[in-house]
Amino acid sequence: MSLIDTQELKLICDGCSHHFSETVGDVKLNDRWTKCPSCGRRDQVDKAGFEAVIAAGEKQIADLQAKVRSVGENLFKGGN
């Protein structure tokens, strides 16, 4: 499980307009199917849109990790 899998997706049911959320990991495990907790309607998340959201999230995580690594390296450079 990657860090992106723990992130929440904000969803709106096409049937009853109920706002709910599911994690990226749960949506992946269910082959992009979601179920509204209010009315029980099942819908499949658009594949291209879902993949774009995951790619953007993974890029943000990688960028943040690179920044943290850079700050850490710079912090300990002057200690010798």
Domain extents in the chain: 3-75
- 68: three-class secondary structure by DSSP: helix
- pLDDT given at position 57: 87
Task: Write out pLDDT tens, residues 28-78.
Answer: 999 999 999 999 999 999 999 999 989 998 899 899 999 999 888 888 886
How does residue 20 score in pLDDT terms, banded at 50, 70 and 90? Answer: very high
- pLDDT given at position 74: 84
Nearest to 7 by CA among 17, 16, 21: 21
Report if pTM > 0.75: no
- pLDDT given at position 27: 94
Residue 16: C-alpha distances to residues 8, 20, 57 (Å):
20, 11, 28
| pLDDT reading at 2 higher than 90 | no
Nearest to 63 by CA among 4, 21, 23: 4
